[in-house]
Amino acid sequence: MPSSIPPLPGLTRYTWWGAVPEGLLTKTQLDRQGLKPGSDPVGQVLYHGNCYAPLYEESAAVPKRGCSPAQRAALDRARELQYVCRRCGDRRDYPLGRGRWCEPCSYAVALYARHAKAQRYAREIAADPGAALVVVAAGPGEHAQPETVAVIRVHDQELLHEGPAGEYGTPERAALLDRLDVLLDGRRVVHETDRGPVSRYPDMLVTPPGQLISSDRDHLHSWLNPHRESAEKADYVSRLWRNWFAWTRDEWSTMADEPWDQERGVWVAWERTAQAADDARGLVALLHRIAEGTEPVWERARWIEDGHGEPELPRGRRRRTTTTA
């Protein structure tokens, strides 16, 4: 509600209720009598010190149309449904609010919405004839130095570049950076991961050995950052796959995570080797499977495990998260 309501121009102002002539009422006063304004306001009264309410002639007011039995039944039904989850049918002792989902279903809906968005974004990338995936491959170890680099066009899975990364500060590394500047100019750039290992970040190509990666160097080459339309919509294969696969640490999470188990630790659905070209082919194939809907989803994804199936997203959300194949 606004903190103040200014007066309407050209209408008489009454600064206290006792000054209002008999027969002039506000909308609220008319409503209490089952009436609504039948003409334009003829005055206004000050209330709360800084708000003006329009005044209407009671004699010109008209009766408010009452509800038919069918309309009344529909209203009663709508009030009752406020307490019933639209997805699973469970009833709560309190109104469920916007969306009308119980808590467990709200988690399933949030995860499924991100799952659907992941497919939409993968389709956008796969359909872009200029989109290219950059893969920096290294040996084992979080801070291993880059060994090979590959660039692959996503649309037709054509390898545009593959070769050694060279060592930091050498002419070989400088030539590689120049080559990538030319090759990726004007393209939609996709990165492999936003969660590590750090050794596979493109930033490692401009980071001196033994130093931490710093965003201060990102201005050196535009492709050090992936295509990004928002904080949520940034082109990382790992992020798209996480949201598509929909693994969560517990049943109350609304954010997908990279899977973990005691045997393997954190794991992903693609190979991470020192051969960037092979890894790039696997990553692009994964993107296409997500776009086509053939990439496996976690068998315990919330909307699968609860037995209620894929949630029906609100119309506005569905319009943003789904596209035709």
Q: Is 101 left (phi over 0), alpha (psi -120 to 50) or beta?
A: beta
Report which residue type is found at 29: Q
Q: What's the angle, vertex CA 237, arms to CA 308 and CA 123, rounded to 5? A: 65
User: What φ, ψ does residue 260 adopt, rounded to 5°?
Assistant: -145, 140
The pLDDT assigned to 323 comes to 39
Residue percentage of the chain with pLDDT more than 70? 96
* pLDDT given for residue 315 in this prediction: 64
- Rounded Cα gap, residues 274 and 293, in angstroms: 29
Cα angle, residue 49 at apex, residues 44 and 52 outer, rounded to 5°: 20
Q: Does the predicted model carry a pTM greater than 0.85?
A: no
CA–CA dist 121, 288 (Å, integer): 11
pLDDT (0 to 100) of residue 90: 94
Taking residue 117's Cβ as centre, other Cβ atoms within 10 Å add up to 19
| Phi, psi for residue 146 in degrees, rounded to 5 | -60, 140
Residue ranges in the chain assigned as alpha helix (H): 27-32, 69-81, 103-127, 171-184, 237-245, 276-292, 302-305, 315-321
pLDDT (tens digit per residue) in 38-66: 999 999 999 988 899 999 999 999 998 87
Asked whether the beta carbons of 158 and 152 are under 8 A apart, the reply is: yes
Pairwise CA distance, residues 233 & 251, whole Å: 25
* pLDDT per residue of the chain (325 residues) written in tens, 0 to 9: 567 899 999 999 999 999 999 999 999 999 999 899 999 999 999 998 889 999 999 999 999 887 788 888 888 787 888 999 999 999 999 889 888 999 999 999 999 999 999 999 999 999 999 999 999 999 988 779 999 999 999 999 999 999 999 999 999 999 999 999 999 999 999 999 999 899 999 999 999 999 988 888 778 899 999 998 877 788 999 999 999 999 999 888 999 999 999 888 999 999 999 999 999 999 999 999 999 999 999 999 999 999 999 998 876 544 444 433 3
Instruction: Provide the pLDDT for residue 321.
Output: 44
Taking every pair of Cα atoms in the chain, the longest distance, rounded to a whole number of angstroms, is 92
Looking at residue 79, its pLDDT comes to 82
3 state DSSP class of 170:
coil
Q: Which residue reads 């209490």 in tokens?
A: 32
The CA dihedral of 272, 278, 284, 287, to the nearest 10 degrees, is -40
Give the Å distances, CA to CA, from 59 to 35, 56, 64, 309.
10, 9, 14, 57
Q: Are 45 and 51 in contact (CB under 8 A)?
A: no
Annotated domain spans of the chain? 12-63, 69-101, 105-321
Identify whether the C-beta of residue 230 lies closer than 8 Å to the C-beta of residue 254: no
Q: What is the pLDDT of residue 324?
A: 35
| Angle between helices 276-292 and 103-127 in degrees, nearest 10 | 120
pLDDT for 2 equals 63
